[in-house]
Structure 1
Amino acid sequence: MANGQLYTKLLLCKGLGYPLWYPPPIDSLADAYRQEGVQIGDVGYITPRGAFSFVFNICRGADHPINRHFGVPNGFQQLQLDAHAIERVDVAFQPRSDISTDTVKSRRVSVGADLNSTVPVEAGVGIEISCSATLGASLILPHGASSSDLLPLRVFREYILAHAKSWFEFLAAQQRPVQDLNLYLVTGCDKATSWGTAVVAKTTNSGEVTMKLGPTGIAGHAEYSWDNSSYNRGFAQAGPHRKPGEESWGENQCVFLRGYSVAMKSKLKSALTGQVKVEPMKGFSNSPIHASLSDRIPWWSQRSGQSTGADSESGRSNSGPSDESGRPGDSDYLWSTAYHPSAIINDFLLHSIGPERGGVMAFTHDKVWIGAIGAGRVRFPDDRDLLATVLRGGDVIDAGDTVCLESQDHQETRKEASTNPGSPNEDEVDLTVFKLRGSTTAEQSMSQQYFVAAVPPPPVDYNRTELNNIGQRRGVVIEYSDSQTGRLMAATWTSVVYLNRREYGRGTGSTKGTARERAAAQALGLIARGY
């Protein structure tokens, strides 16, 4: 796995948003943008290198200097925010803060002359990090960082529904790669004036990797660099590296992003889900289709028994390119797309839920997976566990040809339904979120409401019956493995369904039948996509 990918996956567990491996604004952008850096309302995408590539800002006018660089989509409408719509915390992170995995230790140290020859002695204070585990990641903020977040997320959600399709058309017209691309609409960010990022990857626990970050006097102002004697087992970088005339620039280095990821179904994805001839399961793992799916479907390799996540407990990581030495290399440019949890969710929505309602676009806010996984985890869940977790704690919103996943606390109606004594038990009713269909005028479409509707459930064994019928027709052996935790009324069942001894679905419920039914539903979703 490339350094940027590993760093991101390790620090996602902090629950602060999406960690950028490369915080500075991209050099080729206009100075008007580079001086401020990432802003709320930015539309862009995460590059394979781990940087944010800005395209335009929906809260700025079409003639604003930052929007004149690339232009804006046809029919562009500026979204004017209220003066109190953005919450800013000037000191969200104290100076010399470090955001690290639990495997990394840090301490303040005096910086020697080798790093600090032109900086006054009183300024020569650095931070040393050490890691004896196989994996570790660290973000150091010598001068701290500020934080900004949009409070009414709903206005951006409605803007996406009305305008996001034109964003993809705009990029395609500019001949930018849009295949399998998730565009990103920024609703929050943490920015700093200085930073250091480091990642450690070793094959064993033997030996400790130590790195020291300290100020370096360059061109009359202090920058930062790493003194690292363990480059064969770790990689570190620091910034910013100011050019002449940029010395007075302030907080323009973005270390964490928060926002909406927006995906549109591409022709390639449509072909994979609807036009590929499915081969018999026997010998399927050696087929060209399997290889293609492994490349394009993020969780396909996980279903085939390969790990897609970085395990910071055991130090195992089997995904992503590596150099010949077997350790992660700085090969970010080899990745066609950057890893993002919301992109995994969007892909699932487009291929599992969207086709049933003609969905061609999906979007998800980072708060969905941040809230679902919680902070303080040792490792970030793999794709399968991520989907299972967020779907248990989220509502799918149907907006015609667009689907999105929202956390269950996104509306008061959901809370009222869950606290109503007369509400059906979760195992007895399927709560589905629909968008009220009103006028098609742009003004009314921007203010459409959502409600939660209780939909009568299908027969209790509907999914299992369908799965058994498919198994009989294809000659596939279907088996369930069940386990129970808790006792009596507090019991929770977990069921895993296997097709020809290969896991295809997993479900939980208060009864074994409910757990099996949910596992079968997940398996049917995979089969419907041609797996």
Structure 2
Amino acid sequence: MAPVAGLEARPAATLDTPRTAQMFTNTSRLHFHGSQFTNVLGDMNVTYNREEPSAVREPPPQPIAHLTTPERLYSDSESYCSQLLRRGRGFPLYIPAPRGNLPPEYGYRGVSIGDVGRVTPEGVFDFLFNIYLPADHPINDNDVPENLSPLAPYDSKNVLPIEYLAGQHVSTSAVHKVDLGLSDDGDSGAFVFDCLGPQGAVLALPLGSRIERLDRFGDMLQYTRQNAESWYRYVNGARGCQLSNGSLYLITGWEKARAWGMSTFQEIPPTRYPFRISFEPTFINSASGSQKSYRWTTSGATQTKSSGPVAMDQTPLNQTVFIHGFSISLGTSIWSRLFGTVEVAPIVDAQLGRSTKEYIPYGTQGFSKSWGGFGSFWGSGGAGGHDSGVALSDISPTQALFHPSQIMNAYLLRMQSS
């Protein structure tokens, strides 16, 4: 990050007759020495002596080398996820496909409600086990915490389903879709975007997407509070996942798509004129007319990726572009008892001077330290309060709708109680 520029020097006429309001505006450091005071304004020192009204202008100090910090570098997954998270659609996954080394049953369906896992630095959801399935279920594959007793299945009436039609996209404010004058019915599947620097991200959904989100989870929260300690002991012990506190996620919903395209850019010099990127189908199976493939075309320095060929009647809905859920955190006393107080940082973090400032058993994983803690639900396991309890924080907060009647209701309640 470049050092913040100092304030411009004021004309000499202003310095000859200083006023209190002028001299103390935007003051960053103020020192009184006898009959003098020194006001440091950006790169200029102004010394005023009450016995001698004339102001003395000193040369600006030389920059201090140790105050200059290196510019923060972001990986492609970090840039994409951090930008699209702000759109309120959910927690973005930079790699929507399930991991290839999971059971075939899991690979076919992808992320599900009740999954417990982590988000890796590469932006993929790393599934560990599902709380609604028994240990011997093919998806759990008998690799679960000790004495796991599955939670009773949730009522389907408590799941909110949403369908997004073909031709949808999610993007930051620096990316604008160009109207091609075509209907968004999925026939063309083409997108064109105009982009402005310095950074931006976009997710194109040519065939639309589907959301399923659990909107009532009281039983799930209670179940998690009772078992969170054993889960962390299992994932950091038997599974060796090296998770930091708060990096374990419980899935409450997902958004999946059969076809997608991602583009992200950063450190683009801002100009008045945008650069253009396009996402369009490149192959249609002429025999059946049901298979499509997509590719990006760009005129700027962007990172792009897309899903593989799509067979409309055969491709499973297993590409998860957003997840909803909670990050699970233990109280510091529980964490210290389980893993001690030794802080270990990955080599990359150590080289870049990053500090986790928390107790970590083996190392850091995931994005929870940047994005966790939006809205928390605390449950105490004893008399120690938060320090001995379990916190569940929403990893993908959605903005609540506001209605003006809420102001009137709040006003009436205050009047009634006064």
TM more than 0.5: yes
- Tell me how far 1:238 sits from its aligned partner: 0.8
- What code does the residue aligned with 1:50 have? G
Choose from 191, 200, 205 the match for 1:141.
205
Which residue matches 1:9?
Answer: 82
**Distance in 2 (alpha carbons) for counterparts of 1:155 and 1:360:** 17
Cα distance in 2, alignment partners of residues 240 and 64 from structure 1: 29
Q: Secondary structure at the match of 2:278?
A: strand
- Contact between 2:265 and 2:303, CA under 8 Å: does it hold in 1? yes
Residues paired across the two proteins, number: 313
- 2:143 is matched with 71
Could you tell me how far apart the structure 1 residues matched to 2:161 and 2:244 are?
37
Unmatched runs of 5 consecutive residues or more in structure 1: 112-121, 274-289, 299-333, 376-408, 410-414, 425-531
> Against the structure 1 CA distance between its residues 159 and 133, is the aligned structure 2 distance closer, same or farther, given a 3 Å change threshold?
same
Alignment partner for residue 101 of structure 1, among 172, 182, 186? Answer: 172
1:48 aligns with 2:121: yes
Relative to structure 1, the CA distance from residue 22 to residue 260 in structure 2 (aligned partners, 3 Å threshold; closer, same or farther) is: same
Is the 2:262–2:306 contact (alpha carbons within 8 Å) kept by the matching residues of 1?
Answer: yes
Q: 1:177 aligns with which of 235, 239, 242?
A: 242
**What residue in structure 2 maps to residue 295 of structure 1?**
355
The offset of 1:189, in angstroms, is 1.1
CA distance in 2, matches of 1:211, 1:32: 37
Taking the aligned partners of 1:335 and 1:237, their CA distance within structure 2 comes to 26
Tell me if the contact between 1:200 and 1:209 (Cα under 8 Å) persists in the aligned partners: no
Change (3 A) 1:34 1:248: same
Q: Which amino acid aligns with 2:203?
A: L
Secondary structure at 2:229's aligned position in 1?
A: helix
Aligned amino acid, residue 252 of structure 2: T
Match of 1:37 in 2: 110
Give the distance between the partners of 1:346 and 1:229, measured in 2 at CA: 40
Q: Which has the larger radius of gyration?
A: 2
Decide whether the 8 Å contact of 2:177 with 2:192 is kept in 1. yes
Q: 1:343 to 1:355 in 2, by over 3 A?
A: farther
The letter for the 1-side match of 2:116 is V
What does residue 294 of structure 2 align with?
Answer: 224
Tell me if structure 1 keeps the 8 A contact 2:242–2:365. no
- Which runs of structure 2 are paired with 1:159-174 in the superposition (5 Å)? 159-171=223-235, 172-174=237-239
1:21 paired residue number: 94
Say whether the 8 Å CA contact 2:262–2:305 is kept in structure 1. Answer: yes
- 1:83-482 equivalent positions in 2, closer than 5 A: 83-91=155-163, 93-107=164-178, 123-171=187-235, 172-180=237-245, 182-206=247-271, 208-217=274-283, 221-230=291-300, 233-240=301-308, 248-264=314-330, 265=332, 266-267=335-336, 271=341, 294-297=354-357, 336-339=365-368, 343-344=372-373, 357-359=386-388, 361-366=390-395, 369-371=397-399, 419=413
Deviation at 1:75, TM superposition (A): 1.4
Q: Which residue of 2 aligns with 1:379?
A: none
Distance 2:277 2:399 in 1: 32
Q: Is the 8 A contact 1:145 1:190 kept in 2?
A: yes
* Aligned-residue offset at 1:19: 1.2
Residues 397-446 of structure 1: CA deviation (Å, up to 9, x unaligned): xxxxxxxxxxxx9xxxxx99x9476769xxxxxxxxxxxxxxxxxxxxxx
Contact 2:204 2:260 in 1 (8 A): yes
Report which of the two has the higher share of helix. 1
- SS for the counterpart of 1:358 is helix
Q: Deviations over 1:299-341 (max 9, x none)?
A: xxxxxxxxxxxxxxxxxxxxxxxxxxxxxxxxxxx98432565
Deviation readout 1:231-268 (Å, 9 max, x if unpaired): xx2111111467xx998232211111111100234449
**Post-superposition shift, 1:272?**
7.6
Match for 1:75: what amino acid?
A: N
What's the CA shift for 1:84? 2.7
Structure 1 residue 155: Cα displacement: 1.3
| Gap change, CA 1:262 and 1:110, over 3 Å in 2 | same
SS across alignment from 1:251: coil
Aligned residue type for 1:362 = A
2: distance between equivalents of 1:346 and 1:291? 32
Q: How many angstroms apart in 2 are the aligned matches of 1:64 and 1:246?
A: 29
RMSD (CA atoms): 4.0
More divergent stretch after superposition (22-31 vs 41-50): 22-31
Q: 1:47 to 1:126 in 2, by over 3 A?
A: same
SS of residue matched to 2:263: strand
Q: 1:218 to 1:297 in 2, by over 3 A?
A: farther
2:58 is aligned to none
Shift of 1:291: 10
CA contact (8 A) 1:5 1:339 kept: no
> Aligned partners of 1:218, 1:27: CA distance in 2, in Å?
26
CA distance in 2, matches of 1:293, 1:421: 53
Displacement of 1:109 = 5.2
Change in 2 beyond 3 A, CA 1:4/1:131: same
Shift in alpha-carbon separation, 1:81–1:357, aligned structure 2, 3 A? closer
Contact preservation (8 Å) 1:88, 1:146: no
The one-letter code sitting in structure 1 at the alignment partner of 2:208 is G
Cα gap change, 1:357/1:235 in structure 2, threshold over 3 Å: closer, same or farther? closer
* 2:33 corresponding residue in structure 1: none
Residue identity opposite 2:170 in structure 1 = I
Residue by residue over 1:445-492, the C-alpha shift from the partner in whole angstroms, topping out at 9 and shown as x without a partner, is: xxxxxxxxxxxxxxxxxxxxxxxxxxxxxxxxxxxxxxxxxxxxxxxx
Separation (CA, whole Å) in 1 of partners of 2:303 and 2:262: 8
SS, match of residue 89 in structure 2: coil
The match for 2:44 is: none
Q: What secondary structure does 1:160 align onto?
A: helix
